C-alpha cells in the first residue's frame, strides 16, 4: 500500500527532524543542553501509554479510523512543538505527538487484513521506510536550520507534512473489519499510564534527590503498585490490553523481550551522539564542535544504516536463520557502543561506530515485526502489534529517562552558569557501556530462545 509506506516515511521524518535541533532548542528556550533529552523521553513515554490503547481501539472500531486519529494527534503535537512559546509547551507537544508510534502497529494490522500473503515481507519494507524517514529528517532538519535560521519555522515543516496526511488517509486507506464484540480495557490503559509515569518520574528524580528521598520513592512505589494492579486486571479482563497467556501460547515472549532491550539502545542513543558531536573540544575536552547541518549528516548516515539493516533483514534471516541473525546483530551493536565509549574518535570514526550500531539494530528491527505479525491472529493483529511496539517504546522511554538523568547529573561547566552546563565525558561512557550490556543481554536471550526450541530458529 503506497499510502502506508508514504505515511511511515513522514512519520520517521517528523521523529528524525528534531534530533539535530536539540542544541537550537537549548538556546531558544534557555535550558541546559542535557535537559533537551527530555523532549525525546516525554515523547517516548507518551508513545508507550498511547500505542497499546490505540491499537486495541483499532481492533474494536476499525484500523483506518484509529490511524486517522493518530495522525491528527501527531500533527497537533508537531504544531505545538513548533509554535510553543516556552520549553514546557514543547514538552507538551512531544507528549501529544506520541501517537505517531501507533502508525506502525495499525499499518501492520491493515497489511494483515488486506495483504496477508505478503504481510511479513511488507512489514520489513515499511520498517525500512520508517527508518529511512528518520535518516532523511535528521539530515534535512539540520540543513533547514542552517539555511532558514528560524527554529519555529523549521519545526513547522514536518508538522505541515503530517497535517496533509489526514485527508489522504481518510480517502485512500481501505477499511478493515472491526471486531464489534471486542471491549476496550480502559482500566488497564489507565493503570499502565500511571505505572509508566510514576516509574519514569521516580527514576528521573533519583539522580538529583537520592534513591531514598520521598520525591523519588513515592512516584516509584505508586508506579510499581499500578503496574502490579495492571497485571492483575489484565488476567481478569474480558479483552485485556495485554493478553499475557495469549502472548505465551503464540511464542511472542522472546520477540517482546528482545524488542524491549534493543529499543533501549535505539531510542536511548538518539540524543547522546548529538550532544557529543556539538560539544566544543576546546571548552569541554571532548566532542567535535559540529553545527546543526554537520550533526544532521552524521545522524542521517546512522539512520541510513538502520534502514539498510532493516532492508537486509529478510535475506539475512533466510540465509543465517533468525536466531543467528539476531545474535550477530545484537553483538555488532554492543561492540559499536563500546568503541564509542573507549576508542578515541574523530568525526569519521564516530560515524563508523554509529553506522555499525545502526546496521545491527536495523536487522533486529526488520526481523522481529515479521515474527510478531506471522504469529498473531487476524482479529487481534493490531493489539498484538501494539503490544510489541509498546514493549519497544517502554524500553525507549526508560532509556530516555536514564539518558536525561545522566546527562543532567554528570556535567561540566566552563563558567559556573547552570544553563551553560554540559554532560561530562564520563556521562557518555556510562550511557554507552550500559547500552552495550543491554545489547549483549538481547543476544543471550536470542540464543537461549533457540536452545529452548531445540535448535529451531524462531
pLDDT confidence of residue 387: 72
* Cα 244 versus chain centre, distance: 23
Q: How far is the first Cα of the chain from the last one, in angstroms, to the nearest whole number? A: 28
C-alpha closest to that of 371 among 127, 126, 120: 120
pLDDT confidence of residue 454: 46
pLDDT confidence of residue 176: 74
Q: Are 392 and 400 in contact (CB under 8 A)?
A: no
Please state, in angstroms and rounded to a whole number, the distance separating the CA atoms of residues 37 and 51. 21
pLDDT confidence of residue 114: 65
Please state, in angstroms and rounded to a whole number, the distance separating the CA atoms of residues 226 and 224. 5
For residue 348, what are the CA distances in angstroms to 19, 34, 302, 343? 19, 24, 12, 12
List all residues 6 or more positions away from 347 whose beta carbon is below 8 Å from its beta carbon: 277, 288, 290, 294, 298
pLDDT, one tens digit per residue, over 268-300 is 888 888 888 888 888 888 888 888 788 888 888
Please state, in angstroms and rounded to a whole number, the distance separating the CA atoms of residues 326 and 329. 5
pLDDT, one tens digit per residue, over 426-455 is 999 999 999 999 999 999 998 887 655 544
pLDDT confidence of residue 415: 53
Q: Which residue's C-alpha cell is 499500578?
A: 226
Dihedrals phi, psi of 285, to nearest 5 degrees = 85, 5
Q: Are 74 and 396 in contact (CB under 8 A)?
A: no
pTM exceeding the 0.75 threshold for the entire prediction = no
pLDDT confidence of residue 456: 41
Residue 48 CB burial class (10 angstroms; 0-12, 13-18, ≥19): buried
pLDDT confidence of residue 332: 95
Please state, in angstroms and rounded to a whole number, the distance separating the CA atoms of residues 376 and 389. 14
Residues in the chain where the model's pLDDT stays below 50: 418, 454-458
Amino acid at each position: 500500500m503506497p499510502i502506508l509506506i508514504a505515511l511511515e516515511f513522514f512519520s520517521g521524518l517528523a521523529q528524525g527532524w528534531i534530533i539535530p535541533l536539540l542544541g537550537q532548542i537549548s538556546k531558544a528556550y534557555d535550558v541546559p543542553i542535557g535537559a533537551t533529552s527530555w523532549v525525546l523521553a516525554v515523547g517516548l513515554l507518551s508513545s508507550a501509554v498511547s500505542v497499546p490503547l490505540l491499537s486495541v481501539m483499532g481492533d474494536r472500531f476499525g484500523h483506518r479510523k484509529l490511524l486517522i486519529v493518530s495522525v491528527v494527534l501527531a500533527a497537533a503535537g508537531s504544531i505545538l512543538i513548533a509554535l510553543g512559546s516556552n520549553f514546557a509547551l514543547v514538552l507538551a507537544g512531544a507528549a501529544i505527538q506520541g501517537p505517531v508510534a501507533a502508525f506502525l502497529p495499525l499499518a501492520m494490522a491493515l497489511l494483515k487484513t488486506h495483504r496477508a500473503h505478503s504481510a511479513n515481507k511488507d512489514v520489513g519494507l515499511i520498517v525500512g521506510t520508517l527508518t529511512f524517514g528518520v535518516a532523511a529528517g535528521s539530515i534535512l532538519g539540520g540543513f533547514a536550520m542552517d539555511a532558514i535560521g528560524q527554529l519555529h519555522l523549521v519545526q513547522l515543516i514536518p508538522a505541515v507534512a503530517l497535517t496533509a496526511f489526514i485527508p489522504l488517509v481518510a480517502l485512500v486507506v481501505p477499511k478493515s473489519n472491526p471486531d464489534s464484540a471486542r471491549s476496550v480495557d480502559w482500566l488497564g490503559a489507565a493503570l499502565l499510564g500511571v505505572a509508566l509515569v510514576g516509574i519514569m518520574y521516580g527514576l528521573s528524580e533519583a539522580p538529583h534527590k537520592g534513591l531514598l528521598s520521598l520525591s523519588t520513592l513515592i512516584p516509584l512505589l505508586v508506579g510499581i503498585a499500578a503496574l502490579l494492579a495492571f497485571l492483575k486486571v489484565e488476567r481478569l479482563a474480558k479483552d485485556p490490553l495485554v493478553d499475557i497467556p495469549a502472548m505465551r501460547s503464540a511464542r511472542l515472549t522472546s520477540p517482546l523481550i528482545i524488542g524491549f532491550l534493543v529499543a533501549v539502545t535505539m531510542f536511548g542513543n538518539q540524543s547522546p551522539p548529538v550532544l557529543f558531536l556539538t560539544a566544543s573540544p576546546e571548552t569541554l575536552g571532548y566532542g567535535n564542535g559540529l553545527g546543526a547541518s554537520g550533526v544532521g549528516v552524521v545522524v542521517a548516515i546512522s539512520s541510513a544504516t538502520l534502514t539498510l539493516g532493516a532492508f537486509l533483514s529478510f535475506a539475512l534471516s533466510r540465509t543465517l536463520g533468525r536466531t543467528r541473525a539476531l545474535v550477530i546483530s545484537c553483538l555488532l551493536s554492543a561492540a559499536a557502543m563500546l568503541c564509542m565509549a573507549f576508542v578515541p574518535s574523530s568525526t569519521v570514526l564516530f560515524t563508523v561506530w554509529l553506522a555499525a550500531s545502526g546496521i545491527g539494530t536495523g536487522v533486529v528491527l526488520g526481523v522481529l515485526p515479521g515474527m510478531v505479525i506471522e504469529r498473531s491472529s487476524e482479529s487481534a493483529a493490531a493489539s498484538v502489534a501494539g503490544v510489541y511496539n509498546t514493549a519497544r517504546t517502554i524500553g525507549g522511554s526508560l532509556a530516555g529517562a536514564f539518558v536525561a538523568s545522566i546527562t543532567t547529573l554528570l556535567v561540566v561547566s566552563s563558567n559556573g552558569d547552570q544553563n551553560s552546563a554540559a554532560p561530562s565525558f564520563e556521562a557518555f561512557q556510562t550511557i554507552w557501556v550500559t547500552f552495550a550490556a543491554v545489547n549483549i543481554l538481547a543476544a543471550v536471550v536470542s540464543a537461549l530462545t533457540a536452545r529452548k526450541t531445540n535448535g529451531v530458529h524462531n
